[in-house]
Structure formats: C-alpha cells, structure tokens
Amino acid sequence: MKRLLLVDIGNTCMVFGLFDDELMLGRWQLSSERSLTADELALKLRGLLASLSESATDASGFGVCGIMAASVVPHLDPVLSEACEQVFGMQPLYVGAPNVKTGMAVDYKNPREVGADRIVNAVAAREAFGAPVIVLDCGTATTFDIVSPEGHYAGGLILPGMEVSLAALAGRAAKLPEVSFAASDELIGRDTAGSMQAGSYWAAVDGLSGIIRRLKAIPEYSAAPVVATGGLAGRIVGALQDVDEHRPLLTLQGLLLLARRHFR
C-alpha cells in the first residue's frame, strides 16, 4: 500500500486526509491561524495521527511516503513544509509548483492566477464526471470552476462567500447582529436575525441557481453536470435543483489523484 497525506489549506481551515491507496484512514480539520508556527502544527499533526489505531500507523513518519498540498494561503506554506519535515522527514509537493503536473490545460489569461484548490477540484470533477463539468465550491469565497468540453480549465466565477457576506453586513450596519449562514424555511423573517438569515439564504439559493442557469444556457455546457463541494455546500445544496451531486471530499479526491501520479 502507498500511504499519502493530502493537505488542503484554505482561508478558514486546513483539511488533512491520510490515505492508503483509495482507503481514507483519517480526515482532520484545523483552523488556518495566521499565528500558527511550524512547531505547533507539527505537534498537532503528531497528535492527530497518533489517534489512529496502531495498525494504521508506524513509528517512522507514520508510514507516509508522499505529501501533496493545495494552498491559497501563501504564508502558511513554509509552516506546513517545516512541520512535515519534522513529522515525516519530507516536504509537500504544492499544486502550482513547476514540478507538479496536473494534466489539465488552463485557459486563463494568466494561469498562475488560478487558485490551486480550483484546479484540483476541476481535475477531480473531470475524472469523476468527464468533460464538460461545472464545479460549485461554497467556502470562504463561493466559486464556479468550469471544465470545457476539451477538458481544459476554462475559467469561472468568484463571489463573496455566504458567511463573508453576512459578516460584512453586520460589520457595516451598527444595529445588525452577527449571525451564521443557515438554511431558512421562512421567506419572511420575524426578527432581525431571522430576517438576515432568510435574506442571505434565499439570495444565495436564487443567485447560485441563476448563475447555473446562465452557464447551462451556453450551448456547450447545456448538458454539463454540476457538482457541489466546500464547507458550506451542505447548508444550501438541497435547495439547488440544478446541482447533480454533492461531493464534500472533492478537493481531497483531486489531491489524491495528483499524489498517486507523482509518488510511484
């Protein structure tokens, strides 16, 4: 078996997945704290991995033979690299680095502008659904990533994340409270917090549904499946009739595909 560690560093959370080939041994989520040090992260990683049964770990680097990472938080990259060196005796390969080949052409004007997580999601979606395919990722930002009929990364859309929008509203309006994004059965809120939740939820539902309809009005994407992922997708995907499948682990699945190509 080939044991691989996969790391998705997002603006809010870092997600770690430990795999033996296709079998996921563990998945953990840590906060993407700006003040996090390599020593602190190494200590946390040792604790998380030690929580696995003895049959899943060994004393030397926990049996990991390769680490693949996608990061959109550059200041945490050296922290992760040093922590992995301490714990596993190796550093990660980062999606977007010259030595990591994704097998996907990028049609952006400047391919370096595309977030690593977006490319990884596109790679995973194309592998699972073919091309064309549309990926909706609901996280700190809400993004659409489009894989063309030719299998290229065609581009996409970037929107404020649902919780980011609510936080901005509360921050700019003195009398509005901070509330979390949540599904709402009510269209008409009966108090301020309920009104904010109803407004943000239904605006997101109708806004995302409208974007999907516009994308599918483009002839080459009319039959493209829509796959949803991201930490907030579970709160809204049930109301999005045009979403074909919810894949919470899509980013890890894409990292696993790339890791298996690079660590033979």
Catalytic residues: 117
**Token pair 């894949």: residue:** 247
Structure tokens at 119: 């490319």
Q: Is 77 left (phi over 0), alpha (psi -120 to 50) or beta?
A: alpha
Using the Cα atoms of residue 53, residue 57, residue 61 and residue 63 in order, give the sign of their dihedral. negative
Q: What angle do CA 140, 137, 168 make, to 5 degrees?
A: 25
**Token pair 């992260």: residue:** 41
For residue 211, count other CB atoms closer than 10 A to its CB. Answer: 17
**Strand-pair partners of 225:** none
Are β-strands 226-229 and 133-138 bridged in parallel, bridged antiparallel, or unpaired? Answer: parallel
The b/e string for 170-192 (b: 16+ C-beta within 10 A; e otherwise) is: eeeeeeeeebebeebeeeeeeee
